[in-house]
Amino acid sequence: MQYSEIMVRYGELSTKGKNKKQFIRQLGHNVRHVLHDFPKVETFPRHDRLHVVLNGENSDKVIDRLKQVFGIENFSPSIKVDKDINQAKQVALKLLNQQYHAGMTFKIDARRQDKHFPLDTYGVDNALGSYLIDHIPGLKAKMKNPDITIRTEVRLNGIFISSKTIDGAGGLPVGTGGRATMMLSGGIDSPVATYLGMKRGVRIDMVHFYSPPYTSQQALNKAKELTAKLSVYSGKINFIQVPFTKIQETIKEKVPEGYLMTIQRRLMLRLTAAITLKRHCKGIFTGESLGQVASQTLESMVAINDVTNLPVLRPLLSMDKTEIIKIARKIGTYKLSILPYEDCCTIFTPPAPKTKPRLDNSRKFEKFIDVDGLMKDALDNMKVTTIRPGDEFLNSNQDVFSELL
Amino acid sequence: MIYFDNSATTKINSGVLDTYNKVSQNIWGNPSSLHQFGSEAHNLLTQSRMQIAKLLNVSPGEILFTSGGTEGDNWAIKGTAMIKRKFGNHIITTSVEHAAVHNPVEQLKKLGFEITYLPVDKNGRVSVEDLKKAIRPTTILVSIMAVNNEIGTIEPVKAIGELLKKYPKITYHIDAIQGVAKGLENIIFNDRVDLVSFSGHKFHAPRGTGFNYKRDGKKIAPLMAGGGQERGLRSGTENLPGIAAMAKAFRLVMTNEDEKVRHQRQIKSEIFNHIKKFPNVIIFSKNDDTFAPHILCFAIKGVRGETVVHAFEKYGIYISTTSACSSRDQSVTSTLSSMHVDSSIAEDAVRISLDENNTIEEAKKFNQVFDQLYQQFSKLS
């Protein structure tokens, strides 16, 4: 069915009092970004609803994208007809037929903004209801809990008819909760942590460390592809890639084996903290889950977290791996995450990293390397790109191939 | 030349051949190699898989590349038998299957599996009722063709899927080799089917290409064990030029499918309505949507199929005695004998099989030649 417009209802926003206006503006902005590759779509955020006018774009694809935008409670795809009750009747019949099975009940729910329309709401209810009952044998009307509700709105610019309400993703519009950075490795956990952060309205900038030639171009592309997957929830995401080769080599050379991992993580967090402050973000998200690996014990967290007093937010802290995987599957990042490209967390790992590193030792060993110089070098060479829904990185040769296939 | 033997094989599409050549010359890395050149090949492999999956509305992981229909059928049958042998040893198939299904199950029979061959009615069709009766607690596999290769019957694969929903432990395989781009995707990809076999050269792709659909999560043992390609299910370095060419051929053949099906039906009707007027002609295929749009099987009573094929050949028209794979075999066609057609008549059967590139003019030319030959043959009897 080709719809002409989608009516979006807000979720938690309606409780936000004076901030409501800002929230709606942000949601409108996000929806526009999420639908950036549908050039004909127009969005109109209003105080009660947000209207997405399709202008002929494929409604199924737009619906799929909208399902994932945080801050949407639910939405109804609707068909616009001229202000002519006969046209409305036919469309209502078509919509009903799509969902109708023998024995189902229905009701018409009419509203009228245009008070000059000759029929009032009862008139519209009556006209459409009786038309449907005449044309579908056995159809019964029911006012309380009908199987199908045909919503009809007579507005100044036409009549809008819809028969379905589709659930949205809930949560808050990304951007209303401020900005933070995310340490994205490319594993299973960090995309899930990103998702959970965004769900509460935080705009996330991805920070990804890469170490060529120890890590491959594919590992970097995989992180970008994951970012593209996650961008459907917010519209777009800034991706910051930070070169880490030199730091890792220096640490490997100068730091005792047991503390390799701890010092590496301290440097990663130092760099992320510097980026966070520079970009006016307010916190750092990580995909850490307590006790999962050596760097994620409480002792390790003390030793690593020591380098910054920015809040380090860990949405997965108390989750089991199975719970995390479940969410990863739901948001579609799992299959990407398990692609076997080494990332910089897995190279240079000592056979037995300290699970209980000591803070004083960590501080001491870090002094063996030129922290400031190495950091400056890495920050000078970092690169920021903007990633949007639908961008592809793992199959970068697609254009060449499209001619072959 | 008028080529009416498209169920035997089809002509490779020139654009498809172009892809084959370009990939062979430019992207010849091994998709398993780690370097950039290898991963370029790997990307093309992924893209090809995605393209086929998208056209069939399934997920890319459910498409596994093979060397063609015979391998696809053998794999589905033997791979299922191997992995499920501890759950049972009974296999159900039909008496009208292609040799690529029939002979593998015969091999399994020698290894101790029990086989039920379902009978067919006078249209070459199995009944869901018969299948239901044949199911035992030990049944592990049901293998049915979508379209009969000899007379074009469309088997009730969707209704069988409905029945098998009550038997979730049985693996359901469909041989769809004659059913590509004939408007049958919605009955083949019913929501119960587990395995479907396809062959590339039946839709203008190169020989030695094909793919199996395997429902996500369905277990099957590999027939080719080795280097672990196709997620360990079908080892052997991927035939990338062939696979990319097949993905292209599949896209081309699936474009405007409805239009193509209508076109082939029109040509079939043209010939069907002409030859049915002759008293000595017996037509085994029907001219409605219970039969595939591209296959027409008939006999001229008293004239051996072989004679008819050669007679048409003189006029540059290529048709076939029923299945090309068994054309050189003197034994009487299995579909017709399963339909209890008298063996003297079955010997006379010939098959016309069309594709979207055939034309109404060719059908008219065929009808003219048919008139001449019919007269010539009548003098004999």
Q: What is the DSSP string of B58-103?
A: S-GGGEEEES-HHHHHHHHHHHHHHHHTTT--EEEEETT--HHHHH
* A246 CB neighbour count, 10 Å cutoff: 14
Phi, psi (5° rounding) for residue B363?
-65, -40
Residue of B20, B43, B55, B57 to mutate, testing the A interface (most A Cβ within 10 Å of its Cβ)? B43
Quote the radius of gyration of chain A (alpha carbons, Å).
Answer: 27
Known binding residue A348? Answer is no
**pLDDT at residue B15, as a whole number:** 95
- Whether the CB-CB separation of B151 and B268 falls below 8 Å is answered with no
How many whole angstroms separate alpha carbon B33 and alpha carbon B98?
38
Percent of chain B with pLDDT over 70: 97
How do residues B118-177 score in pLDDT, each as one tens digit?
999 999 999 999 999 999 999 999 999 999 999 999 999 999 999 999 999 999 999 999
Alpha carbons A269 and A287: distance in angstroms, whole number: 13
Owner of token pair 């709105």: A153
d(CA B23, CA B25): 5
pLDDT tens figures, A339-390: 877 776 666 777 778 888 899 999 999 999 999 999 999 999 999 999 988 7
Please name the residue of chain A whose CA is at the shortest distance from the CA of residue B61: A335
Whether the pLDDT of residue B331 is over 60: the answer is: no
From the candidates B50, B83, B325, B345, give the one annotated as an active-site residue. B325
Does the pLDDT value for residue A319 go beyond 90? yes
d(C-alpha B363, C-alpha B267), whole Å: 6
- Whether pLDDT at B325 is above 50: no
The whole-angstrom distance between B323's CA and the closest CA on chain A is 31
CB contact under 8 A, A397 and B247: no
As a whole number, the mean pLDDT across chain B is 93
The pLDDT assigned to B375 comes to 93
List pLDDT tens digits, range A36-62.
Answer: 888 899 999 888 889 999 988 888 889
| Rounded distance between C-alpha atoms, residue B196 and residue B96, angstroms | 17
At residue B324, the pLDDT reads 46
Would you state the pLDDT for residue A351?
76
Is the model more confident about A238 or about A59? A238
* Token pair belonging to A397: 């040769």
Amino acid (1-letter code) at residue B327 = S
Is A287 annotated as ligand-binding? yes
Highest mean pLDDT among A234-243, B43-52, B299-308, B361-370: B361-370
Question: Are B51 and A395 an interchain contact pair (Cβ–Cβ within 8 Å)?
Answer: no
Nearest chain A residue to B21, by CA = A404
Q: What are phi and psi of B333, to 5 degrees?
A: -50, 140
How many residues are there in chain B? 381
Q: Which residue has the tokens 């607690």?
A: B137
Confidence check: pLDDT of A137 > 70: yes
- pLDDT at residue A338, as a whole number: 87
Cis peptide before B156 (omega within 30 of 0): no
ipTM beyond cut 0.85:
no
Among all residues of chain B, which has the CA nearest to that of A217?
B36
Contact A405 B48 (CB under 8 A): yes
pLDDT (0 to 100) of residue A355 = 83
Q: In this model, does residue B30 exceed pLDDT 80?
A: yes
C-alpha B139: how far from chain center: 24
Q: What is the pLDDT of residues B34-60, one digit of tens each?
A: 888 898 899 899 999 999 999 999 989
DSSP letter at A172 equals B
The answer to whether the Cα torsion of A366, A367, A369, A370 is positive or negative is positive
Tokens standing for residue A72: 């949407």
Alpha carbon of A332: minimum distance to chain B alpha carbons (Å): 13
Give the chain B residue nearest A398 (alpha carbons).
B47
Give yes or no for residue A400 having a pLDDT over 70.
no
Closest partner residue to A398 (CB to CB) among B19, B47, B251 is B47
Cβ contact A405–B39 (<8 Å): no
Write b or e for each residue in B276-287: b if 16 or more Cβ atoms lie within 10 A of its Cβ, otherwise e: eebeebbbbbbb
* B327 has a pLDDT exceeding 70: no
**Catalytic-residue membership of B325:** yes
Burial of residue B154 (CB within 10 Å: 0-12, 13-18, 19+) is buried
Average pLDDT, integer, range A247-265: 91
B248 touches chain A (CB under 8 A): yes
Minimum Cα–Cα distance from B15: chain A residue: A404
Query: Which pair of structure tokens corresponds to residue B305?
Result: 């199929």
- Distances in Å between the Cα of B157 and the Cα atoms of A277, B172, B173, B187, B295 are 63, 10, 10, 7, 18
**How far is residue A251's CA from residue A257's CA, in Å, rounded to a whole number?**
9
B285 and B124 Cβ atoms separated by less than 8 Å: no
When pLDDT is cut at 50, 70 and 90, the band that residue A395 belongs to is low
Give the position of tokens 């169920």. B7
Contact of B368 with chain A, judged by CB distance below 8 Å, is answered with: no
Tokens of B244: 């990319």
With an 8 Å Cβ cutoff, are A395 and B47 in contact?
yes
pLDDT by residue (tens digit) across B178-230?
999 999 999 999 989 999 999 999 999 999 999 999 999 999 999 999 999 99
**Averaged confidence pLDDT in chain A:** 89
Rg over alpha carbons for chain B, rounded to the nearest Å, is 21
Token readout for A364 is 């001491």
pLDDT of residue A397: 59
Contacts of B372 (CB under 8 A, 6+ apart): none
Distance (Å, whole) CA B271 – CA B374: 14
| Six token digits for residue A350 | 């000592």
- Whether chain A has a CB inside 8 Å of the CB on B249: the answer is no
| Shortest distance, CA B244 to any CA of chain A (angstroms) | 6
- Chain A residues contacting B via beta carbons under 8 Å: 216-218, 394-398, 401, 404-405
**Cβ–Cβ gap A405/B47 under 8 Å:** yes
**Cis, peptide link before residue B293, omega less than 30° from 0:** no
**Are the beta carbons of A155 and A219 closer than 8 angstroms?**
no
* Backbone φ and ψ of B211, nearest 5°: -155, 155
> CA B141 to CA B91: how far, in whole Å?
5
- Report yes or no on whether pTM surpasses 0.90: no
Cα–Cα distance between B335 and B118 in angstroms, integer?
A: 12
| pLDDT tier for residue A396 given thresholds of 50, 70 and 90 | low
Residues in B closer than 8 angstroms to A405, CB to CB, are 19, 47-48, 51, 244, 247-248, 251
Minimal CA–CA distance to B31: which of B20, B47, B50? Answer: B47
pLDDT score recorded for residue A287: 92
| pLDDT recorded at residue B140 | 97
**How do residues A155-201 score in pLDDT, each as one tens digit?**
888 899 998 889 888 888 888 889 999 999 888 999 999 999 999 99
Cβ(A42)–Cβ(A55) under 8 Å? yes
